[in-house]
Amino acid sequence: KNEVEQSPQNLTAQEGEFITINCSYSVGISALHWLQQHPGGGIVSLFMLSSGKKKHGRLIATINIQEKHSSLHITASHPRDSAVYICAVIGSNFGNEKLTFGTGTRLTIIP
Amino acid sequence: DVKVTQSSRYLVKRTGEKVFLECVQDMDHENMFWYRQDPGLGLRLIYFSYDVKMKEKGDIPEGYSVSREKKERFSLILESASTNQTSMYLCASRDGADTEAFFGQGTRLTVV
């Protein structure tokens, strides 16, 4: 079983819909990243959070440390939001510099 | 803006060739990482470095080596490229353990 699981693997929605992508992890973490990867390949960090909730424009990320779960929400989705969204965790062991990644959620927004 | 720059976007090499993938970051970050990304497997860590001349094996180091002679540059070396090393390679850098990671644009390597 992967340490970081994302769902769904693929998601297709109509423009304007509210989108939720989920991430569950099985290890202790100090922080969690949400990343976005467009078809060209480059990865952009959307959020890094260790508790509560963060908001940036139409994007909202939440995390529940006790339940080992995080969600990424997109409000009023737009075709330009089409991308792969990746959850990654930073382990809480001292000196653990590594990120552990989920396999990603491919989001397609249809006009 | 932090920039992580990889030397090539696309690369085609022959089996047995020695391949160098270069990564440069401009924010004086301590930690640098090389990942490969394959469909269905996500990003897997090949090697990372937490200081100049320091390196640690990641989860899949076999067939790869790395070099970090200067803080800003982290090179991934395929000593003798094989077809199973065809993949997308991504470099990342970060300052401390709990800081944001920044990624390069990726190098899509094809070994024929």
Digit-coded pLDDT (tens) for A29-82: 888 999 999 887 789 999 999 999 999 999 999 999 999 999 999 999 999 999
Of A44, A45, A101, the CB nearest to B42: A101
- pLDDT of B42 reads 86
Pairing of strands A19-25, A4-7: antiparallel
Interface of A with B (CB under 8 A): 30-31, 33, 35, 40-45, 48, 50, 86, 88, 90, 95-99, 101-104
Give me the amino acid identity at B89.
Y
Give the number of A-B residue pairs with CB atoms closer than 8 Å: 60
Contact call for B48 and A88, based on CB within 8 A: no
Q: Are A43 and A86 in contact (CB under 8 A)?
A: yes
- The H or E element spanning position B87 is strand B87-94
pLDDT of residue B11: 96
Sign of the Cα torsion A6, B98, B30, A55 reads positive
Q: Across the interface, do A40 and B33 touch by the CB < 8 Å criterion? A: no
**B89 within 8 A of B35, measured Cβ to Cβ:** yes
**What does the alpha-carbon distance between residue A7 and residue B76 come to, in Å, rounded to a whole number?**
32
* Cβ contacts of B6 within 8 Å, gap of 6 or more: B21, B22, B23, B89, B90, B91, B104, B105, B106, B107
Are the Cβ atoms of A44 and B103 closer than 8 angstroms? yes
Averaged pLDDT, B52-73: 94
Residues of B in contact with A105 (CB under 8 A): none
A88 contact partners, CB below 8 Å, separation of at least 6: A4, A32, A33, A35, A99, A100, A101, A102, B43, B101
